[in-house]
Structure 1
Amino acid sequence: MTTQPEAYTVVKGEGLPIILAHGMGVDHRSLMMLDDAFPQGTQRIYMDLPGYGQTPALPGVGGLSELAEWFTNAANELVGNQRFAMLGNSMGGALVRDTLSREPKRVAGVALIAPVVDPVMSHRHLAEHIISNANPDLTHNLPQDKVIDFVTMGVNQSFDAWRRYQRYILPGTKLCDRDANTKLGQRYLLDGNPEQRMGTYTGPTLIVTGKEDQVVGYEDQKALLPHYPNAVYKVIDPAGHNIHIDNPEALKPLLTEWSTKLLNS
């Protein structure tokens, strides 16, 4: 039997476990700027997915379906027999949906932040990338390799947004296992549709998208709503794919409201 990598985690707080899954190319730190949005009584488990941060890459083909299976197993190992909640950003949203479809009775709630709905890029309904807060004084003076990603992913080019990006996004990009990332991209498909497998899920659900997200858009996420009858669906404007970098002031209250519902449900 092939040995699977052990998840590297950073844990904050005590109480109901919330496992947070990041997107492609970054690590657990990309979501830690949201930590002050969660109330007492929650335990936030920030996880490095395989090939990112300090979790070794998956053995073998290392595609999205293999990553989803690993994530479900890792979540069970982390929380044991407890009920738990999950938050997934971008690719992490696809992993959360897949795990939820397999463990719905154990999951107290889910939050999906700019989640991948259809792994196939050509199938997605994408938004137009419009920069709402241009800052040429900043972008013209940054190293080119950093400017490209900051500008193409976000719509807020303020100095504050850049500081957030510099602190929470860039460190993870430097630790990305490029070979593992390439293998993942070559097999970027789930084993079936999570919502078709699950049917409906009535727990506290938050789905947040960015109006200017040219990576996953905001329309495909709305199409999920029949499967999540108690979901709060919010399109944040302005915000691109990195909603938490572009507009944390709009996102954090939604997370506080969602996690408070978890504690009261």
Structure 2
Amino acid sequence: MGGSEKEPTYRGAYIRPILLIYSSLVLIGTSYAFISEGHPIMRINNCATLTLHAILFFGALFNTERSLGCAERFLRLFICLYIAIFFVLPVMMASMRASGSAPHTPKMLHESLGSYIRKSFEKEPSEAEKRFDEEAKDQLLQVFTDDDTKLKVDSMFLDKVSKETVIKVLDYGEFRILKEHALQNHTISGLFFDNMIHDIRRREAFRAGIWSGYGMEMACILTIILLAVQHHLVKRMWLHSIFNQPLKEQYLYY
């Protein structure tokens, strides 16, 4: 009755402010992480995250077919990259830990969680455990009789993690050979002890690297899901800009 019809609104209009707010928050947080991070690999990851969300932010800000199409292609590329990273993370982390090039990884999620679990179940050692420790220590000191190695063994038994490492020497093949031949050369036995401890720690680091990779894969899966959601939202805006926006501009002339 004389009233003009309301202009139809885009049902996905809420997408644009969500993407703008989300990408701006990620840019701020990642910028701080990029500045404070010292490891080169993590800085490269932060730089890639900054690039992606800068493109996503400007794509949503300009809201044009070209900018949204660029953001959609970059999101698709990053999804493929994270899928590839998902398959190589355990091997990569294990190699880095074993080679000693990733000393920061003890702070990873799985090790923090493991430390928390260990503390939850920590208790005073029983008399049987104390006797086992004393017997293990006696066996080691019967073979490694030089003063330097004795001091190393004593100091390692004071720390729970180091104690677990030094006790594993008893099952080492080279230790059994030294014990059978009763080798009393202090210099050689000390070198054998250092080599065995180094080899055991390298194996433990490799195993920890494997679990670090699996722990990081959980974060990788969540990132892939998040990127897929962003890709879906950007694609909706992109399709809207292709099909609906030109029609709106065309009808402005009538």
Does TM-score exceed 0.5, indicating one fold? no
Bigger fraction of residues in helix:
2
TM-score, structure 1 length as denominator? 0.23
Structure showing the higher strand proportion among its residues: 1
| TM-score, length basis structure 2 | 0.24
Looking at CA atoms only, which structure, 1 or 2, has the larger radius of gyration? 2
